[in-house]
Amino acid sequence: MGKTIADKIFASHLRDEPFEGAKVLNLDRVLCHEITTPVAIADLEWRGKDRVFDKSKIKAVIDHVTPSKDTKTAIQAKMIREWARRHELEDFFDVGRNGVCHALFPEKGYIRPGFTVIMGDSHTCTHGAFGAFAAGVGTTDLEVGILKGVCAFRHPATIRVNLRGGLKPGVYSKDVILHVIAKLGVNGATDAVLEFAGPVTEGMSMEARMTLCNMAIEAGGTCGICMPDEITADYLWPFIQDEYPNKEAAVDDFKQWHSDPDAEYKQILDFDLSDLEPQVSYDYKPDCVKPVSELAGARVDQVYIGTCTNGRIEDLRVAAKILDGRTIADSVRGVVSPATPKIFRQALEEGLIDIFMQSGFCVTNPTCGACLGMSNGVLAPGEVCASTSNRNFNGRMGKGGMVHLMSPATAAATAVTGVITDARTLLSRV
């Protein structure tokens, strides 16, 4: 029997199997942010073990609340900042250089095919887009990762998700993943890796693949994963060009991280996407999803474009195209947060920031902020937000608030009208 990518990464990183089924892996990356790391730092100090296993493999950022909004968040920022300095971490991103972790770290070239990655953040599954095994963990796993460079997992099953049929104009990877989650359910992939394949996946940019993998956790998945290919090599080329004679050699090398044709899957799901409509979530679970036509006309108070799901340059381009020459409805507050400084600058240079501002959007610095109701766009009770984020739990963006998940195109169109709107009805230029 052949192996899946996840099987191959597990085999190559296995450090120990203290009991049957418990696999302790060596880690290539331990990623840290200011919300879940400080308690690990404090605990290591308390234990007299304030050390790091490898200062080049641990990367840290302040992204959830930044710049700090109050004394408590300032203390969290201070804790991770001082910790990063005292251990001389090679890469730590503070105010002005910081961005949403799952956009920033890939952009810096830190994630490579075949890597093992953990972070105290459930959307760490995003990094599987590079053919890595990347899993969200709690603070205790993070703490052991920081100290020892290992993490324990049950060997995950793999669910293959074949995406084929081609997407209609105006339909994006966000719509695809919402549709897939609706089919799987919020626990359909628990303890499993979601392996995205098929021609639609192969045709997607790294940004679009990250959007897919980002939401694997919303179906319970340990990690989303895509096979690394030419598109992966193109994206990583500035960071790997000294390691390979040419791009073809890199692509060839990446093939060691492809699933075998006879690999064993827990489940194989086949999606023909040729008739897929833009998708929007309703209610308070990410598997409650309907075509936009069934939710069109529902009033919203705020539109939020950004986050680790859809705050990348392609997302901003799509939204700006719809907003160009239009103003958003008086009843709506528009908030856009480019996910990293690089994306922000690129959006400035391309004129996208100007379009957002002309249309009436508030442009914030890169931060996770509003997605989890921490800052920069928290909802009041009874308010509704059209959001490009990944989670619509009760109160997620503020106590008593409600969230509709959607693509940047649908969000932008919704901002223009003030009610949930199919972007394709506004424009022929989606």
Partner 1 sequence: MEKIFKGPAIFLDRNDINTDEIIPAKYLTEVTKKALQPYMLEDLKLDGFDPHGDELKNARAVVTRENFGCGSSREHAPWVFEVNGVHTIIAQSYARIFRQNMFNGGMLAIELPQQEIDALFELGKQGTVTLNVDVDAQIIHASVAGQESEFPFEISEFDKALVKAGGWVEFADARY
Cβ nearer to partner 1, comparing 122 with 346: 122
Q: Which residues lie across from 114 on neighbouring strands?
A: none
Cβ nearer to partner 1, comparing 159 with 412: 159
d(C-alpha 111, C-alpha 101), whole Å: 12
Cα dihedral 380, 381, 382, 385 sign: positive
CB contact at 8 A, 88 and 59: no
Which run of H or of E encompasses 101? helix 101-107
Residues 6+ away with beta carbon under 8 Å from 245: none
Cβ nearer to partner 1, comparing 141 with 195: 141
Tokens (6 digits) for 251:
């692509």
Cβ nearer to partner 1, comparing 186 with 251: 186
CB of 52 to partner 1, least distance (A): 14
d(C-alpha 215, C-alpha 178), whole Å: 8
CB contact at 8 A, 376 and 335: yes
Cβ nearer to partner 1, comparing 106 with 373: 373
CB of 310 to partner 1, least distance (A): 18
Cβ nearer to partner 1, comparing 122 with 358: 122
Cβ nearer to partner 1, comparing 186 with 427: 186
CB of 267 to partner 1, least distance (A): 17
Number of H helices, E strands in the chain: 17, 19
Which run of H or of E encompasses 288? none
Location of structure tokens 């980002």: 214
Give the angle 286-287-289 at the CA atoms, nearest 5°: 95
CB contact at 8 A, 362 and 338: no
CB of 194 to partner 1, least distance (A): 13
Tokens (6 digits) for 288:
């409650």
CB contact at 8 A, 414 and 425: no
Cβ nearer to partner 1, comparing 311 with 373: 373
CB of 345 to partner 1, least distance (A): 29
| CA nearest neighbour of 83 among 32, 148, 125, 118 | 32
Exposure b/e, 294-332, CB count within 10 A at least 16 = b: ebbebebbbbbbbbbbbbbbbbbebbbbbbbebebbeeb
CB of 372 to partner 1, least distance (A): 4
Cβ nearer to partner 1, comparing 99 with 373: 373
Cβ of 290: how many Cβ atoms within 10 Å? Answer: 16
CB of 143 to partner 1, least distance (A): 6
CB of 146 to partner 1, least distance (A): 11
Which residues contact partner 1 by CB under 8 A?
Answer: 15-16, 18-22, 24, 35-36, 38-39, 42-43, 47, 49, 64-65, 70, 72-73, 75-76, 79, 120-122, 124, 136-141, 143-144, 147-148, 150, 152, 186-187, 190-191, 220, 222, 284-285, 372-374, 391, 393-396, 399
CB of 70 to partner 1, least distance (A): 7
Location of structure tokens 């480019």: 338
